[in-house]
């Protein structure tokens, strides 16, 4: 991908010119005539705050300019983020399981192994359905790219924009109201929609619809798997 102006989304040849170590000049966008990416000189904390606030320019910086640098191992980030996403999903299922069964309930080692195996299976299948439903519309939203590049960029954008699930770890340590779990889901859904909007440059309503459909398919798969696995275990 080419570098992008975080304000208008136009392609730019370079984000800055370096005259000497520590001496750089930020380049302006030829389209909107402003500095193409001021996040280059900002602290990472400012970027994180703007990501939480769902500012599109922060997502453009992250997806187009930060992950597009030669020094960044995009493949490594994608795989590590994927494993972290599965871990966060496992934490979410554990929180739901503990809320239903009760933290004080006695469990045997055999039942604990069954619960862990069941949750791991659910997490893998749920996310397989989620990304399958999500990646299908990208064939029409990103026609200018090859299928492999298209799916990889959409996958990376969704995985990276699911950063808000890191708060699920805090929910396993401290007590939170159970509805907070769904608040995290809403934040993740909205963050996914903004990332998809920035990447595809399509209408926000369409991106929200795609993300809602993918999350709904994941939710339905979760409940279907829970019923089927319980029935199989009882048999």
Question: Residue 22: pLDDT band by 50, 70, 90 thresholds?
Answer: confident
* Residue 25 host element (H or E): strand 23-26
Task: Check residue 36 and give its pLDDT.
Answer: 92
Nearest to 158 by CA among 209, 197, 195, 201: 195
In the block, which residue shows the tokens 């960044």? 72
Between 228 and 15, the more confident residue is 15
Q: What is the pLDDT of residue 150?
A: 66
Q: C-alpha angle 234/219/191, rounded to 5°? A: 150
What was the pLDDT predicted at 102? 58
Separation between Cα atoms, residue 226 and residue 220, nearest integer Å: 10
38 vs 199, higher pLDDT: 38
CA 61 – CA 140 distance, rounded (Å): 24
| Stretch 200-204: mean pLDDT | 77
Specify which of 31-35, 69-73, 134-138, 205-209 reaches the highest per-range mean pLDDT: 31-35
Rounded-to-10 torsion of CA 154, 159, 162, 165? 160
Helix (H, G, I), strand (E, B) or coil at 212: helix
Query: Residue 95's Cα: distance from chain center in Å?
Result: 20
Q: What is the mean pLDDT of residues 166-191?
A: 84
Cα 123 from Cα 217, distance rounded (Å): 13
Query: 37-96 pLDDT, tens per residue?
Result: 999 888 889 998 999 889 999 999 988 888 766 556 777 888 888 888 888 888 888 887
Residue 24: strand, helix, or coil: strand
- Give the model's pLDDT for residue 144: 46
Q: Report the percent of the chain where pLDDT is more than 70.
A: 82
**Are the C-beta atoms of residues 139 and 147 closer than 8 Å to each other?**
yes
Q: Please calculate the CA angle 147-219-108 and round it to the nearest 5 degrees.
A: 120
Question: Residues 87-138: pLDDT tens digits?
Answer: 888 888 888 777 766 544 445 555 667 777 778 888 888 889 998 888 776 6
Banded model confidence at residue 170, pLDDT cuts 50, 70, 90: confident
Q: Show the tokens assigned to 152.
A: 């990889």
The pLDDT, as a whole number, for residue 109 is 58
168: helix, coil or strand? helix
- Look at residue 235 in the predicted model and tell me its pLDDT: 47
Query: Exposure pattern of 51-62 as b/e (b: 16+ CB <10 Å)?
Result: beebebbbbbbb
Dist CA 169 CA 95 (whole Å): 10
In the numeric block, which tokens belong to residue 140?
């029409």
């Amino acid at each position: 991908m080419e570098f992008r102006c975080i304000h208008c989304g136009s392609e730019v040849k370079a984000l800055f010119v370096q005259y000497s170590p520590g001496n750089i000049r930020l380049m302006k966008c030829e389209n909107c005539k402003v500095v193409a990416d001021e996040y280059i000189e900002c602290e990472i904390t400012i970027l994180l705050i703007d990501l939480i606030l769902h500012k599109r320019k922060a997502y453009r910086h992250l997806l187009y300019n930060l992950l597009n640098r030669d020094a960044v191992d995009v493949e490594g980030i994608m795989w590590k983020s994927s494993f972290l996403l599965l871990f966060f999903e496992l934490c979410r299922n554990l929180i739901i399981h503990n809320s239903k069964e009760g933290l004080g309930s006695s469990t045997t080692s055999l039942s604990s192994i069954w619960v862990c195996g069941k949750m791991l299976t659910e997490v893998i299948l749920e996310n397989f359905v989620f990304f399958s439903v999500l990646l299908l519309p990208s064939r029409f939203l990103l026609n200018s790219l090859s299928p492999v590049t298209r799916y990889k960029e959409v996958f990376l954008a969704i995985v990276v924009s699911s950063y808000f699930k890191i708060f699920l770890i805090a929910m396993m340590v401290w007590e939170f109201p159970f509805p907070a779990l769904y608040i995290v889901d809403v934040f993740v859904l909205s963050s996914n929609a903004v990332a998809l909007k920035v990447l595809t440059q399509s209408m926000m309503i369409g991106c929200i619809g795609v993300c809602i459909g993918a999350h709904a398919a994941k939710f339905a798969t979760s409940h279907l798997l829970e019923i089927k696995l319980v029935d199989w275990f009882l048999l």
